[in-house]
Amino acid sequence: MKKLLPIIDVVKDGIEILKLNKVQMSHVAHDPKATVWAFGILGLPFVINILLAMLQTTMFLSLQVKFLLIPLVTMVGCIFLMSFVAQKMFHAKGDHMAFFRVIAYAGVVTWLSVIPFILSLIGLGDVFSLFNLVNLVAGAWMLVVTYTFLIDYYKLNQQNAIITVVLGVVGAGILQSVLGRVLIGKFYRLMYL
C-alpha cells in the first residue's frame, strides 16, 4: 500500500537527524530524492508564517516578507558555505547537496517558528521577539548536527569541524547583516539583531 503522507516519514527522518542518528544522516545524505524535501523543510515555515502574517494585517506585509526571508536565505547560504569551507580548506571529500540535505532535514526544528505567529494571531506575545528566540535555539541545535555530520561525513577532525562551524556562523552573520541592510534598511540592526 502506497503511503498517503510521505511528509510524516520526512519529519521522522528530520527528528532522527536532530537526535544525531548517524545512520539516518547517511541515508538522507545519499538519497537524491530527499533534495526536494530538504528545500520544502526549510521553505514551509516561511510560507506558513507569511500566511499567518497576512491573516493579522496586510499593512507592512512587504516588510514582514523581507524580514522572514532573511533567516531562510541566511540558513541556506550558511549550509553551503560550511560545505565549501570543509572541502576547500580541509580537503574533505563529499557532496555539497548531500551535506545540504542532512542539515536542511535538521531544519525541521525551525517549524517551531510558526508558534510565535499563531500566538500573535490570537493576541499573545510579541511575534518577532519570540520568532528570533525560536530561530536562535533552532539554529544552535542545527550547528550541533552540522558539527556531528562534518566529523562523520566529511571525516574532519574536531578542530577542523569547529573551525568550519565558526566560519559558517561568521559568514551567516555577515550575510544576514548585508541582507538586512539591503532588504530592510539602515534600521535592521536596531530592530532585529
Within 10 angstroms of residue 73's Cβ, the number of other Cβ atoms is 15
The whole-angstrom separation of Cα 59 and Cα 36 is 32
Question: What's the pLDDT at 145?
Answer: 97
Cell of 184: 530592510
In terms of DSSP H, where are the helices of 91-157? Answer: 96-106, 114-121, 127-152
Helix (H, G, I), strand (E, B) or coil at 54: helix
pTM: 0.87
Distance of CA 82 to the CA centre of its chain: 13
Dihedral sign from CA coordinates of 149, 150, 154, 155: negative
Tens-of-pLDDT digits for all 193 residues of the chain?
455 578 899 999 999 999 999 999 999 999 999 999 999 999 999 899 888 878 876 666 777 788 788 889 999 999 999 999 999 999 998 899 999 999 999 999 999 988 888 888 887 767 777 877 888 899 899 999 999 999 999 999 999 999 999 999 999 999 988 998 888 877 665 444 4
Question: What's the pLDDT at 132?
Answer: 78
